[in-house]
Chain A
Amino acid sequence: MFLKECKKILLSIPYIIIAAILIVFFYTQFYVGINADLTAPQPDDPAGYGYYTQDDPTLIMPAATDSLFLEFLNNAYIAYPQGFYKNVTLSDSDQAQIAEILSKITGVPTEDFLAAEKEERESSSTTVIDAGEEAKAEDGSIYIIPNNLTEVDRSGTLDISVREDLSYEEFIALMDQADKIIGGESYYKRASLASHFGQMPKDYTQAMADYEALLENGAGVALSRLFSDYLGIFATLLPVFLAVWLVMKDRAARMNELVSTRQISSWKLIGVRYLALVCMVMLVVFVLAGITATSIYSICGAIDGLYMPFVFAIGWIMPGIMISASLGMILTVLTGTPAAIAVFGLWWFLSLTSNVSNIYGNYENFTLIPRHNTIENTAYFTENLRALAENRFFYVALSIVLVLFSMYIYEAKRRGRWHVSIIKQRSNHQIEFEE
């Protein structure tokens, strides 16, 4: 029966779509860059060597303070809640709190900041500025919100610099406070400070050092993480459609009545079906893992590249497939509608967008879609491996529980013991012909 279910899934439209999407996404987002990731950098590369994040207070503190000050002057703060651009305007009381924070950072009195902001507001040269963009006021001064080291010309504004006796920890705490006032997900959030204000361009030496570290720490692991990050996005979302299709197909073909009267137990029916679904999606993942493995080994000879993609496919990607399929199954068995698509789709969407500001390493809070969208940041992986493992085990366990519940509900419906107002089995044997 398992092979029959596998064959049924293999020839189905949803499965073909899933396979196509995974292959396209794998190729366009991951595979095209694999060669560059695994090839040693060349000297004097005109394309540069990317950036690295330096958690350097001497770099971050002045840049972040400048940025906060300029946003304060314009009362226009950039934030990215749920990954989307948002321009935040604060109330007077909130602005006063920001002024206080700036005062604590710089030592300049709060009243001076408020006066400057008032002057800016009343002047006709007020300009709304986006981070990284350049704007010219009427008096000719240039306002730039830096996201890396750029000189800021603040002619006509307060001269601010960070107090020398302010420690980095105190500074981070103040910036965190500012982030909360803005509403969260701003550049001043603790986890985002370094990535926004501590970016430095890499040179050849640094790039070469990173490349050697990659090979030493295991290129296979690093690439497998990236592979799992990319593929996990859609491999988590798509199985729910297949699960809904599988259950509803039987209903549409009125098979449920035939199946219900067969000898096969619900446990076996649902169990085999679920197993077939997970295996068939994993089949595609394994094929792509195989391509990744051969590519890693052929480009840089890393031995761990031969097996790590498969390990990550099972440990990282499969739990996502399992939870998607199990939720799809239980909600469809329960309601007989495609409601699972909406429910799981929303969960997936929220998980994906809440991780947007932290895609280079985030396995926390039992997130549905763990992210690690870089071959670097190995330290985060090593330090949080336990959290990742707990996360994945949690979803495996939850999936099994949901599948067991599906079996129970299916069996109860078969035996006519489940009366849900949404669905009612019609029995053909009832005579209610009244005279």
Chain B
Amino acid sequence: MNCNTIVIEDLDKFYGKKQAINQLTLTISQGMFGLLGRNGAGKTTLMKVLATLLSKQSGTVSVCGIPVDNAKEIRRIIGYLPQEFSMYPSMQVEEALDYLGVLSGLDKAQRKAAIPDLLEKVNLKPQRKKKVRSLSGGMMRRLGIAQALLHDPKVLIVDEPTAGLDPEERIRFRNLLCEVAEERIVILSTHIVGDIEATCEQIAILDEGNLLYNGTVMDLIMQAEGKVYSATVPLNLAAQVKKEYMVTGISPQGKKSVIRLISESTPDIAAIPIEPNVEDAYMYCLSQNNGGAW
């Protein structure tokens, strides 16, 4: 069995009676893997199952050949950055990393070697003596990624790491993730399509616990070929167009609006076909699952 693979077969996860993941089958290989979906799609649930924070009802999940039921061994090889990362507020940054390093099973020498490099990597060295409570949102995320990488995990699971960050911070975060993905599996969940576009080759799309798509970004885009159009309409008609078609972008230009829309067949309004982007393809995929509704 390939050590750099996560294999998921027929995974079910319920919260009470609500099914959060439904018969999911997926294989994730080395590199950046994107997990896309709406809020409540099951992305966080899947990540928590992989991180052994949640138990599964049925199915099999193995990470580098280790069944996920063997929580202790799994936690040795995974690094997890939760959707809302926080740490003990009174700890200093360096202290927090040191403590989490102990919890990761690293001895003093290993922590002494790893921490300065990581602080450098995530650019938190100037803040190493600052208390956690005084860090900004971006700094907290960087601390989060640093603690996830501390023990050099084979798998890095990051749950919506760029939500709430401004564009410049988001770009730097993505670059960091790409860098670390060269040597390991990185699973990135997000509802920001731009994150996926910039970093991931392979993606999966979840919706209401079901797997809608699993493959490359390019293949996803190709599915939406010929379904995306651009129409220029007067401003006062834009609202009507929005009601009739799935609109993925509106750009006001003086007294007109340039509308980007998705349609199975040629729209009734004057529109020209255009090349789909990832966002278009994602919206198209979701709408297919909902019987054309959006």
Give residues in A with beta carbon < 8 Å to B: 254, 423-424, 426-435
Contacts and interface: CB of A to CB of B under 8 A. Distances in A.
B140 interface: yes
Most buried by B among A424, A430, A432, A433: A433
A431 B169 contact: yes
Interface of B: 84, 123, 126, 133-140, 164-166, 168-169, 172
A428 B85 CA distance: 13
Nearest to A429: B166
Secondary structure of the A contact surface, majority rule: loop
Contacts of A433: 123, 138, 168-169, 172
Given A254-B84, A426-B140, A431 B166 contact: yes
A427 B169 contact: no
Contacts of A427: 136-137
A427 B139 CA distance: 11
Given A428-B137, A429-B137, 9 more contacts: A254-B84, A423-B133, A426-B140, A427-B137, A428-B164, A430-B136, A431-B136, A432-B136, A432-B138
A431 B142 CA distance: 12
Contacts of B166: 429, 431
Nearest to B125: A434
B118 to A, nearest CB: 16
B275 to A, nearest CB: 33
Contacts of A429: 137, 166
21 contacts: A254-B84, A424-B133, A426-B133, A426-B135, A426-B140, A427-B137, A428-B136, A428-B165, A429-B137, A429-B166, A430-B136, A430-B137, A430-B138, A431-B166, A431-B168, A431-B169, A432-B138, A432-B139, A433-B138, A434-B123, A435-B123
A430 B138 CA distance: 7
Secondary structure of the B contact surface, majority rule: helix
Nearest to B127: A432
Contact of B126 (A426, A428, A434): A434
B125 to A, nearest CB: 9
Nearest to A254: B84
B282 to A, nearest CB: 25
Contacts of B134: 424
B43 to A, nearest CB: 19
A429 B167 CA distance: 10
A427 B135 CA distance: 9
A339 to B, nearest CB: 15
Pairs of residues from A and B, 4 with the lowest C-beta to C-beta distance, nearest first: A428-B137, A430-B136, A428-B164, A424-B133
A426 B169 CA distance: 16
B84 to A, nearest CB: 7
Contacts of B172: 433
Contacts of B84: 254
Nearest to B168: A431
